Structure 1
Amino acid sequence: MVRVPTVLIADDTASIRFLIRTNLELAGFDVREAVDGLDCVERLRASADADDLPDVVTVDVMMPRQDGVSTVHTIRADERLRHLGIVMVSTQNLPADIQRGLDAGVDAYVTKPFDPDHLVSTVNDVIQRRSQA
């Protein structure tokens, strides 16, 4: 049986979560949602085993309770989670913003508004790179 790749979306805006979810589901992904960075980390840590973890997490930068950069730092610092692919999806599009995300440990950075095909191909690329690592 072929395993369907899973993505956890962390974004505080319901319409953005819906847009990302719809495009990823149409591309064949299993999609879960978190309402902010803290919810994202809690959901990841609550996963019973490695098979229950997503392949990729998409993270917005600007979120309440815990922003995206802090969320990435938290994921990368956790031995059980650090292998996950992370794609930052944000309106923050200055070179310094993108560099901040890369420095935190994201695998890719997609700026909003995004082209749905670009988002899907980016998530697929991250999954492929992570599986070869």
Structure 2
Amino acid sequence: MPRVLVVDDAPSMRLLIRTNLELAGFDVDESVDGVDCLEYLAATETLPDVVTVDVMMPRQDGVATAAAIRSDPRTADIGIVMVTTQNHPADVQRGLRAGVDAYVTKPFDPDDLVATVRETVHRRGSD
């Protein structure tokens, strides 16, 4: 079963993403921000297949978090899906430069989110 780490500072958004992914058959864990995400990744033996990450978060934003995931050889192959309200082309480019695989804009269609995460699992798994 594919594993996803949901990173968002809003509890309601984590619950929404988690619920939709669990209903689609994913195993889901949560982190409250970028620092918490990186601490989780450093401590866990079983890395997630995909991390969904918000851009605007306290302590460390999603772009810096994505860059940190990509820069660590242990986590560099994890898929990253940015789930955010920040949809200006410059924001998208910042995310892509940091190593984000896909971009989902809030508010999102749950089916689109699930399809994007599934595609990212498939694409990263076939690299």
TM range (shorter): over 0.9
Counterpart of 1:87, as a letter, is V
What is residue 64 of structure 1 aligned with on the other side?
A: 58
Structure 1 residue ranges, 4+ long, deviating more than 3 angstroms after superposition: none
CA-CA distance at 1:13 after TM superposition? 0.2
TM-score by length of 2: 0.99
Q: Given the alignment of the two structures, is residue 11 of structure 1 paired with residue 3 of structure 2, yes or no?
A: no
Tell me whether 1:89 sits opposite 2:83 in the alignment: yes
What is the match of residue 76 of structure 1?
70
Deviations 1:3-37 (CA, angstroms, capped at 9, x unpaired): x1000000000000000000000000000000000
C-alpha separation in 1, matches of 2:80 and 2:59 = 19
- Count of equivalent residues: 127
Name the Cα RMSD after superposition: 0.5
Q: 1:37 aligns with which of 34, 58, 80?
A: 34
> How many Å separate the matches in 2 of 1:47 and 1:82?
15
Supply the distance in 1 between the matched residues of 2:79 and 2:44 (Cα, whole angstroms). 16
Q: How far is the alpha carbon of 1:131 from its aligned partner?
A: 1.1
Partner of 1:125: 119
Is 1:20 matched up with 2:22?
no
- Structure 2 CA distance, aligned partners of 1:110 and 1:72? 15
| Unaligned 5+ runs, structure 2 | none
Q: Secondary structure at the match of 1:122?
A: helix
Deviations along 1:79-115, one digit per CA (max 9) or x if unpaired, are 1000000000000011111111111100000000000
Show structure 1 runs of 5+ residues with no match.
Answer: none
Q: How far, CA to CA, are the matches of 1:29 and 1:23 in structure 2?
A: 9
Q: Per-residue displacement from partner, 1:44-80 (whole Å, max 9, x unpaired)?
A: 01012xxx11000000000001100000111001010
The separation in 2 between residues aligned to 1:105 and 1:131, in whole angstroms, is 16
Instruction: Select which of 106, 118, 125 maps to 2:100.
Output: 106
Amino acid at match of 1:124: R
